[in-house]
Amino acid sequence: MQQPRRVVVTGLGALTPLGNNVNDFWNNLIEGKSGAAPITKFDTTKFKTKFACEVKGFDPLNYFEKAEVRKMDPFTHYAMVSSEEALKDSGLDLSKIDKTRVGVIWGSGNGGFSTFQQEIMEFAKGDGTPRINPYFIPKVIVDIASGWISIKHGFMGPNFTTVSACATSTTAIIDAMNYIRWGKADVFVTGGSEAAVNEAGIGGFSALKALSTRNDDPATASRPFDVDRDGFVMGEGAGALILEEYEHAKRRGAKIYAEVAGGGMSADAYHLTATHPHGTGAALGMKWALEDAGIELSQVDYLNPHATSTPLGDVSEMKAVINFFGEKPDHLHISATKSATGHLLGGAGAIEAIISIKAIQEDTIPPTINTTNVDPALPTGLNIVFGKKLKKKVNIALSNTFGFGGHNASAVFRKVEDRT
């Protein structure tokens, strides 16, 4: 039986609450900075939560013509900008590659949420006459970002969008990995974007009692594992990765960040919004990811957990980690980076994949910030990196993402070895 083709990462792009490119994002992350601040996008006077992790200093007119800006929702702006950075970073000469062998799998949990809200609010103000923007549907549909990316560059390979709530962009990365493994394409643009910092997004998650209300100190509101955590902090932005078949990358002398070694997906089959209390589905996703990668538990150096800073979710995930890795996994270090970035929903997995890859490249584990009083309900024996970055040899990293509906996705990245 023919072995699956190897898949590597050759380009990265990021547009985040901590920086509008990969270098700024990574440097601010490892320095322990927070992306949370009062919301600027709308009047929060009557909202219980008045802060979020917004993208800062971003003007789409710096990247697109005015006519193009009007045709896109912000989630597509973010997708286009981050994917452009990743393509440039990859060094691919688009004039010399077979574009029928380049695909796009781009994730978003909500798609054109801001556009949908804006159009409905405008309609409600009127006399009932449906004066709808002719680009309303193309701006709203969740698959449109992958369409825009392919149209701009002429990529004619497999093209679609994954939707698995907050596991979305990890699912996209796993799907792109598998299409390359199976020989269906040589290169993929993959990742995810989200732009849900608006009245509907903040109001909706607040109604679920999922958001922190620490309005007096937003920068410390996202505090995974802390006994005083009171919910997650909404984030927005995008992360993009260029995945490439290993030999294809070698032939062109590409810079290789890491190998996408495996992926696992599972379902809790438990509750609409809550994780399984024992982390059963999370453990299955991690198990299948490591089995897919052919990696032993003792080889994993770093875990970037889902860890959103919710009272139930953080504990259930760490129970899954202890149950899966053993009572005292000394080799494994953990850091919850949503403490700095907030929760990018469908874009979370993409920027956390970038974090995992940079941890491998730089042999540096970013810190969990804001946690001052560790919840006694957490299992003991966990090596959680609090406060400051940790210099450590990182050969293998595991990234977890979980979504409403019980969707779980875990991806494994490792340093590249030449096995020829």
**Which is the catalytic residue, given 77, 276, 343, 407?**
343
Could you tell me if 249 and 10 are in contact, meaning their C-beta atoms sit under 8 angstroms apart? yes
Beta-carbon-side half-sphere exposure of residue 48 (alpha carbons within 13 Å)? 17
Orientation angle between helical segments 311-325 and 280-293, nearest 10 degrees: 50
Identify the CA nearest to 131 among candidates 123, 139, 142: 123
Orientation angle between helical segments 22-30 and 348-362, nearest 10 degrees: 70
- How do 396-403 and 302-304 pair as beta strands? parallel
Residue 53 among the catalytic residues: no
Tokens 């399984």 label which residue?
A: 276
* Paired tokens of 127: 């006399």
* Paired tokens of 155: 């990529």
23, with CB counted inside 10 A (0-12, 13-18, 19+), is exposed
Distance CA 214, CA 225 (A): 16
**Which is the catalytic residue, given 248, 306, 333, 407?**
306
* Paired tokens of 409: 């996705």
Distance CA 340, CA 323 (A): 27
Residue 306 among the catalytic residues: yes
**Which is the catalytic residue, given 166, 248, 276, 407?**
166
Show the beta-strand stretches assigned E in 246-395.
258-267, 302-304, 333-334, 364-365, 383-384, 390-391
As annotated, the active-site residues are 166, 306, 343
